[in-house]
Structure 1
Amino acid sequence: MSETTPVGVDWSADLELIRAAAVVAGETALGYFRKGPDVRWKNEGRSPVSEADLAANDVLKTRLLAARPDYGWLSEETDDDSSRLTRETVFVVDPIDGTRAFIAGKELWCVSVAVVCRGMPVAGVLYAPALDELYEAVASGDALKNGKAISVREAAPGETLHLAAAEDTIAKLAPVYRNAVERVPHVPSLAYRLAMVADGRIDGTLVKKNSHDWDLAAADLIVARAGGALVDLDDKPLFYNRSTVVHGVLCAGARPILPGLIAACRSLEPH
């Protein structure tokens, strides 16, 4: 499969489709929020899934595949179907990114929906219904938050960087870098954390290994169209809809700070 997005394709109709579906899925999930939804555990008891996740997933799958039956499907809450690897274009979704926060009654969760073509996201939506926030982007044009253009923050040289990362990750950074960083308190949704990079609330984030396509694809495009980037430790963009959907250590932020972030991450663990 080629990893080059078709030139000149207008993905705005797909953006409209996934936006509408994400809003309905988000409102569906919101109907369970702070109402004690049933919860079970998957992945040998490591990951919770609530009835809200499954209901939102059903909304997305029904609406999206009815509109684009030739597209593949990859969701955190659906058994993987290897036929997606034969499809040029795929929906990549997380019905609720931040399920633990959702179950705990915290507002930092979102519906993540992306259209991926030839391995690259070309339309993406993040909808955080409890916060009344909707982020979106298409392969050309601005990233938007509630209809208004957003952009990453470019810190001045020597300015303190506000980074979202685990405490143990920040603690392991070289002192010369750690002393120039202020850690952002834990953000339970990775997709929403990347949205915070896109709208300039934070400067960047370090992502531990083992994130998945559905955590990243929509937010990746939104960060990119906001003027930033999500990259691996070789400063390469991510590709999606591969046989493995798991990623290594990643960094996101405005382009000028990425070399420093990558160097800091390389000092933490081999890749």
Structure 2
Amino acid sequence: MTDALADLDLLREVAAEAGRIAARFWRRDPRVWWKGQSPVSEADLAVDAYLSSALLSARPGYGWISEETAARPSDGGEERFFVVDPIDGTRAFLRGEPTWCVSIAVVSGGRPVAGVLDAPSLGEVFAASADGAAELNGTAIAVRSSGGPGETLHLSMPEPMRRQIAGRTAGPVDYAPNIPSLALRLAMVACGRLDGTLVGARANDWDIAAADLILERAGGVLAGLDTGPHLYNPVPRRHGVLVAGAPDIVERLRAYAALAA
């Protein structure tokens, strides 16, 4: 078994338990604090504590990046590290909506090599390794090709971006409701429920790392307005505007995103 597949097995197991921990707080009014304009709940902290203990016990040499706790470098020569969002979609979680997930990735050589999104309230687990296909609940998934430039695109994006581009696009667009969990929104592209998405500026590495790999292994692309695949490093960063979809619509999505940038 390759390292990526072994790591994927670990992520599946740990993400499932993390989802069960989070579910104990869902729709039960967990305590909430604020980091600037972003909420963090006792559920986020409980899941993060579990993930840190379980993952770093199993892989003590790996580094750690999380939305909720300080980063730590990997031990040894290889930069192999976990990138974790204990609950992606905290606002949806706190509103009692089901569109949230536990997001975990392993990064090696600058790119994710194993990733899992566990969405217990939806009963869905997205997973991929660098050695295999992207899967939803164990079944292979793929992005949906749009066809020609005149084909209608089924897109989801934050409401401010939708307002900026509505009526200004070169081709027809069917706007789906926005999914606050960025990781799940990218997963919806990976499994073909959406043709693509636009992502507003300031997304973090922990928002996208696992979904980036799942989308890639499903045949899709996550890219900036003028850049290719992102290289991850042990110092997490915020991103500019991103687009995600099948390769044949990326330039069309970039044109739309430029209208909203």
**What TM-score do you get using the length of structure 1 for normalisation?**
0.91
Counterpart of 1:99 in structure 2 is 90
Deviations 1:92-115 (A, max 9, x none): 000000001111100000000000
Corresponding residue number in structure 2 for 1:71: 62
User: Does 2:176 match 1:184?
Assistant: yes
TM-score using structure 2 length = 0.94
Q: Which runs of 5+ in 1 are unaligned?
A: 1-7
SS in 2 for 1:59: helix
CA distance in 2, matches of 1:62, 1:243: 21
1:260 alignment partner AA: R
Query: What count of residue pairs does the alignment treat as equivalent?
Result: 259
Select which of 244, 249, 252 maps to 1:257: 249
For structure 2, list consecutive stretches of 5 or more residues without a partner in the other structure. none
Q: CA deviation at 1:168?
A: 2.6
Is 1:14 paired with 2:21?
no
Residue 9 of structure 1, CA deviation = 5.2
Instruction: Name the CA distance, whole Å, in 2 between partners of 1:59 and 1:168.
Output: 35
Letter in structure 1 aligned against 2:21: T
Which residue of structure 1 lines up, in the alignment, with residue 235 of structure 2? 243
Report the counterpart of residue 35 of structure 1 in structure 2. Answer: 28
- Which position in structure 1 is the counterpart of 2:157? 165
Q: Which secondary structure state, in structure 2, belongs to the residue aligned with residue 263 of structure 1?
A: helix
The reply to whether residue 202 of structure 1 matches residue 208 of structure 2 is no
- Answering whether residue 128 of structure 2 is matched by residue 137 of structure 1, we say yes
What's 2:258 paired with?
266
3-state SS of paired residue (1:74): strand
What root-mean-square deviation, in Å, do the aligned CA atoms of Structure 1 and Structure 2 show?
Answer: 1.8
1-side partners of 2:104 and 2:112: how far apart? Answer: 10
Q: What code does the residue aligned with 1:34 have?
A: R
Q: Distance in 1 between matches of 2:145 and 2:57?
A: 41
CA distances 1:19-68 after superposition (whole Å, capped 9, x unpaired): 101000000000111111111111x2x01011111111111111100011
Letter in 2 for 1:55: A
1:219 corresponds to which residue?
Answer: 211
Deviation digits for residues 140-160 of structure 1, max 9, x if unmatched?
211000000001011121221
- Residues 111 and 65 from structure 1, CA distance in 2 versus in 1: closer, same or farther, beyond 3 angstroms? same
Q: Tell me the SS of whatever aligns to 2:53.
A: helix
Separation of aligned partners in 1, 2:53 and 2:187: 26
Contact 1:74 1:84 (8 Å CA) reproduced = no
Superposition deviation, residue 174 in structure 1: 7.7
Whole-angstrom distance in 1 between the partners of 2:208 and 2:12: 17
Deviates more, 1:170-179 or 1:208-217: 170-179
Q: Distance in 2 between matches of 1:103 and 1:89?
A: 32
Deviation at 1:244, TM superposition (A): 4.3
Letter in 2 for 1:202: L
Quick one: percent identity of the two aligned structures?
52
Q: CA deviation at 1:80?
A: 3.1
> What CA distance in whole angstroms lies between the structure 2 residues aligned with 1:196 and 1:245?
24
